[in-house]
Structure 1
Amino acid sequence: MQLVVGRVGRAHGIKGEVTVEVRTDEPELRLGPGAVLATEPAQAGPLRIETGRVHSGRLLLRFEGVRDRTGAEALRNVLLIAEVDPEELPEDPEEFYDHQLMDLDVVLADGTEVGRITEISHLPSQDLFIVERPDGSEVMIPFVEEIVTEIDLEEQRAVIDPPPGLIDDRAEIASSRDDDSGGDDASGKDGG
């Protein structure tokens, strides 16, 4: 099975290094020297990692055969894809590969069906589950511990505890102007 583990960014320097947007929780395993990666688009690869280092918080890689800035720039926005055994699990029991989460049923703690995970969107700040509801509409669920309370792979379900308004239109609206005194304005002083 193939997993996207990174995206090539800008060239760094003049000797063929590129910045890489890491899309794996195991970069030392997937993006280490000697790793051979498929690419999207396919004609850009396969690419073998020659060297890797972290510079100013960014991963820099050099691929075999890429020796100058021009070659590095030609790889910009190429997706890096690793071949992974479908039975392999992340070392941390609280981490999951995308393929494990796809098609899980999403339910509330009381068992109420919300929908099915059809896509996982990896954003810089957090991951999102794109959930298709029974009526065909979609809802985005942040994949954070406070909302996704349980992932049960045996039962093929994700249990969520969403805040008001996340999956329905019944948001609780709290306002500092809610006031039972009648004629007072928001500042608490008389209007006249």
Structure 2
Amino acid sequence: MTDRVCVGAISGSFGVRGEVRLKSFCADPAAIAEYAPLYSEDGARSFDLEITRAVKEGFAARLTGVATKEEADALKGLRLYADRDRLPSLPDDEFYHADLIGLTVVDPGGKVLGTVHAVFDHGAGDLIEVRGPDLKAAVLVPFTNAVVPTVDLEAGRMVVDPPDGLFEV
């Protein structure tokens, strides 16, 4: 598990007074402001955050140290991370995506299928992207209790009971 979790990204500037357009990855999108200070991925920069208004596909927000449109434009694409201890704890059957990435994926018999490379949420449910040396291409696995009955963060693995043919080489 990592010490910080990605909670949002800056998609550009908003207006001419240094505000940024912010996309939140939080279950409650407006809660992102409660997790400040937020950090760049490398931890070199930190920001306090004030949401000023809701806008299409996110929020307009002010970040400390960003005063001009040019400074806001320069942050486009920057992912924002919060310290894990600032985030709410989750129920036993929920996980932060960052905790799933890198887990070893095994079938019910213990055979290694690959590693979790990414987690996608397209609205209808999460998909786990599994990559492995024996796979010709990445495999997308539905992240449901039926297909993924066990996630063991301490052991660094998840058990996947794939539908027939999903992992055929």
TM-score, normalised to structure 1's length?
0.65
Partner of 1:84: 84
| Maintained 8 Å contact 1:129/1:143 | no
State how far apart, in whole Å, the 1-side matches of 2:75 and 2:20 are: 8
State how far apart, in whole Å, the 1-side matches of 2:135 and 2:165 are: 18
Q: Does residue 1:147 correspond to 2:125, yes or no? A: no
Task: Describe the superposition over 1:84-116 as per-residue Cα deviations: whole angstroms up to 9, x where unpaired.
Answer: 14xx7743333212453244342334x241334
Partner of 2:14: 12
Q: Does residue 1:120 correspond to 2:83, yes or no? A: no
| Maintained 8 Å contact 1:101/1:117 | no
Structure 2 residues without counterparts, runs of 5 or longer = none
Letter in 2 for 1:22: S
Corresponding residue SS for 1:73: helix
Greater RCO structure (CA 8 Å; 6+ sep): 2
Q: 1:116 to 1:25 in 2, by over 3 A?
A: farther
| Maintained 8 Å contact 2:21/2:60 | yes
Corresponding residue SS for 1:148: coil
Taking only the aligned residue pairs, the percentage that are identical comes to 26
Partner of 1:184: none
Partner of 2:48: 48
State how far apart, in whole Å, the 1-side matches of 2:29 and 2:117 are: 22
Q: 1:155 to 1:63 in 2, by over 3 A?
A: closer
Task: Describe the superposition over 1:149-192 as per-residue Cα deviations: whole angstroms up to 9, x where unpaired.
Answer: 332446653222323332114xxxxxxxxxxxxxxxxxxxxxxx
Report deviation, 1:27.
4.2
Partner of 2:33: 32
Letter in 2 for 1:92: P
Report deviation, 1:34.
7.4
Structure 1 residues without counterparts, runs of 5 or longer = 170-192
Partner of 1:173: none
| Maintained 8 Å contact 1:5/1:80 | yes
TM-score, normalised to structure 2's length?
0.71
1:98-117 correspondence to structure 2 within 5 Å: 98-109=97-108, 111-117=109-115
Report deviation, 1:76.
0.6
- RMSD of aligned alpha carbons: 3.4
Task: Describe the superposition over 1:131-154 as per-residue Cα deviations: whole angstroms up to 9, x where unpaired.
Answer: 435x58664333421532332446
Corresponding residue SS for 2:33: coil
Structure 1 or 2, whichever has the larger Rg, is 1
